[in-house]
């Protein structure tokens, strides 16, 4: 069966191939073409795209709008930063520096397991996934949906933000944990060779994440997610328990945000409670809305595009970015509700050409029962 399972626009095969060629070309060429500053920026944006994939999974497919993904993002970041801090200070046989500043003489218990790199690699996605699963289960079980869910996630975000901000003696509070001066395999994490490797790892993990999410949304599991989004009460009477499905995808999105946060932290050089600021979590949602909800490539595209735009605009015209971002969001919501890629996949570009008289119109209305690609003679 070749037909797509949803009404969501699907690009034709060659467009998809073209997009993949482009993505792979960027990943392969970037390290040798871009100066390390730009490469590092691109690496950060690609890591943010992993969090965007998670948002597309829960929002675009399942209809759960979370404004609190920053929590999971930060948890991933803190996990990796704690490991790097310990790894560095252990070489000198001491506690991480900030502990000494605050007069803490023994390591808080929850730091202990982060001495292990294996534990850290698991914890950076499992901890956020578990937090998301518990939070999600409690909320979904009580059938809290829609805007109430969004408000709750934002409230949870503020709780975490304030807690992390206030805990100087546990995790260095508002100053956060720097990673760029830490040492891994005898190299400074902020150094050029390490950053190049991190770029590759980010690209690889982004592609793996994309495959994983695509696997989740394809087939009957994905159909149940769409059914939950469109008519949750109805799916219950068909014998499915939406609470379980929603909890699972919320946990997956949490895990992806955790991976994203860890990669972002090591490439930006520090994790701070600012990762859990309210605007940042809302921005994540904007990336997906602009790129195209329900089109996984759109989430990646939106995250990279908007962040690149942000860094370019901020270099040229500081202060003006927030206005541009706001305008972009309004434009997309009003004119392109399916997002840029959704619009493009739906033939929006071709329609523009038709309007400009550069292409011939297609008859694509399905109930005409044409093949869908036949040309209409005018």
Partner 1 sequence: MTAPLLELREITMSFDGFLALRDLNLSLQPGELRAVIGPNGAGKTTFLDVITGKIKPTSGDVVFKGRSLLRDQEFSIARLGIGRKFQSPRVFEQLTVRNNLALAVSRPKSPWSLLTGALSRQGRDRVDQLMEIVALHPRADYPAGSLSHGQKQWLEIAMLVGQDPDLLLVDEPVAGLTDEETDLTADLLKSLAGDHTVVVIEHDMEFIRRLDTQVTVLHQGHVLCEGRMDDIQRDERVIDVYLGGADDQQSGEQH
- List the interface residues with partner 1, window 64-93 (CB under 8 A): none
Q: Is 224 in the site for partner 1 (CB under 8 A)?
A: yes
Do 190 and 184 touch, CB atoms closer than 8 A?
A: no
Give CA torsion, residues 49, 52, 56, 59, to 10 deg.
Answer: -170
**Cβ nearer to partner 1, comparing 273 with 294:** 294
DSSP code, position 106:
S
For 287, residues 6+ apart whose C-beta sits below 8 A from its C-beta are 48, 49, 52, 55, 299, 302, 303, 306, 307
- In 3D, which of 24, 99, 69, 68 has the Cα closest to residue 260? 69
**Using CB under 8 A as the criterion, what x/- string covers residues 238-277 for binding partner 1?**
xxxxx-xx--x-----------------------------
Q: What angle do CA 231, 235, 238 make, to 5 degrees?
A: 145
Q: Is 270 helix (H, G, I), strand (E, B) or coil?
A: strand
Choose between 174 and 241: whose C-beta lies nearer to partner 1.
241
Residue 227 CB, shortest distance to partner 1, in Å, is: 5
In whole angstroms, the minimum distance from the beta carbon of 191 to partner 1 comes to 41
Treating both helix axes as pointing N-terminal to C-terminal, what angle do 321-335 and 278-291 enclose, rounded to 10 degrees? 40
Residue (23 or 58) nearer to partner 1, CB: 58
Nearer to partner 1, 186 or 366 (CB): 366
Q: Is 227 in the site for partner 1 (CB under 8 A)?
A: yes
- By CB under 8 A, residue 234 contacts partner 1: yes
Which residues is 375 bridged to in the sheet?
362
Shortest gap between Cβ of 374 and partner 1 (angstroms)? 17
Using CB under 8 A as the binding rule, whether residue 371 contacts partner 1 is answered as no
Segment interacting with partner 1 (CB under 8 A) among 101-109, 195-203, 237-245, 337-345: 237-245
Q: Which of the ranges 51-59, 71-79, 124-132, 215-223 carries the binding residues for partner 1, by CB under 8 A?
A: 215-223
- Alpha carbon distance 248, 140 (integer Å): 11
Residues 14-43: x where in contact with partner 1 by CB under 8 A, - otherwise, as a string: ------------------------------
Compute the distance between CA of residue 110 and CA of residue 145 in angstroms, rounded to an integer.
Answer: 33
Least separation in angstroms between residue 250's CB and partner 1 is 13
Number of H helices, E strands in the chain: 15, 4
Contacts of 78 (CB under 8 A, 6+ apart): 164, 171, 177, 265, 271
Among 7, 33, 204, 352, binds partner 1 (CB under 8 A): 7
User: Which range in 122-130, 223-231, 281-289, 296-304 contacts partner 1 by CB under 8 A?
Assistant: 223-231
Q: What does the block give as tokens for 201?
A: 């790892």
Applying CB under 8 A, does 1 fall inside the site for partner 1?
Answer: yes
Q: Which residue among 318, 367, 373, 378 contacts partner 1 (CB under 8 A)?
A: 367
**10 Å Cβ neighbour count for 217?**
22
Q: Is 372 in the site for partner 1 (CB under 8 A)?
A: no
Helix (H) or strand (E) holding 158: helix 146-166
Binding of residue 373 to partner 1 (CB under 8 A)? no
| Spatial contact of 353 and 364, defined as CB atoms under 8 Å apart | no
Q: Is 112 in the site for partner 1 (CB under 8 A)?
A: no
59 scored as a contact of partner 1 (CB under 8 A) = no
Nearer to partner 1, 64 or 224 (CB): 224
Helix (H, G, I), strand (E, B) or coil at 48: helix
What binding mask, one character per residue, do residues 168-207 give for partner 1 by CB under 8 A, x or -? ----------------------------------------
Helix segments in 34-68, DSSP class H: 36-55
- Binding residues (CB under 8 A) for partner 1: these are 1, 3, 5-8, 216, 219-221, 223-224, 226-227, 230-231, 233-242, 244-245, 248, 366-367
């Amino acid at each position: 069966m070749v037909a797509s399972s949803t009404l969501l626009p699907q690009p034709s095969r060659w467009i998809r191939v073209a997009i993949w060629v482009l993505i792979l070309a960027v990943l392969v060429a970037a390290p040798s073409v871009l100066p390390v500053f730009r490469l590092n920026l691109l690496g950060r944006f690609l890591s943010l795209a992993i969090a965007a994939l998670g948002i597309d999974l829960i929002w675009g497919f399942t209809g759960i709008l979370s404004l609190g993904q920053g929590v999971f993002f930060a948890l991933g970041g803190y996990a990796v930063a704690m490991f790097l801090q310990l790894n560095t200070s252990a070489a000198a046989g001491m506690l991480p520096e900030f502990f000494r500043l605050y007069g803490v003489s023994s390591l808080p218990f929850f730091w202990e397991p982060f001495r292990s790199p294996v534990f850290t690699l698991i914890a950076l996605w499992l901890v956020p996934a578990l937090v998301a699963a518990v939070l999600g289960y409690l909320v979904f079980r009580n059938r809290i949906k829609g805007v109430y869910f969004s408000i709750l996630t934002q409230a949870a975000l503020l709780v975490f933000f304030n807690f992390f901000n206030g805990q100087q003696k546990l995790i260095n509070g508002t100053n956060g944990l720097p990673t760029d001066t830490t040492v891994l395999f005898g190299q400074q994490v902020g150094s050029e060779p390490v950053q190049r490797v991190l770029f590759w790892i980010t690209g690889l993990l982004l592609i793996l994440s994309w495959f994983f999410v695509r696997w989740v949304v394809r087939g009957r599991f994905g159909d149940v997610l769409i059914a939950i989004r469109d008519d949750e009460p109805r799916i219950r009477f068909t014998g499915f328990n939406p609470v379980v499905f929603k909890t699972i995808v919320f946990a997956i999105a949490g895990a992806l945000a955790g991976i994203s946060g860890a990669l972002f932290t090591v490439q930006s050089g520090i994790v701070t409670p600012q990762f859990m600021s309210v605007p940042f979590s809302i921005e994540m949602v904007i990336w997906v809305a602009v790129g195209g909800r329900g089109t996984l490539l759109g989430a990646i595209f939106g995250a990279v595009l908007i962040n690149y735009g942000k860094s370019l605009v901020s270099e040229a015209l500081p202060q003006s970015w927030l206005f541009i971002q706001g305008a972009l969001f309004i434009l997309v919501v009003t004119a392109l509700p399916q997002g840029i890629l959704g619009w493009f996949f739906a033939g929006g570009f071709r329609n523009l050409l038709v309007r400009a008289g550069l292409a011939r119109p297609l008859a694509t209305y399905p109930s005409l029962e044409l093949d869908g690609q036949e040309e209409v003679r005018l």
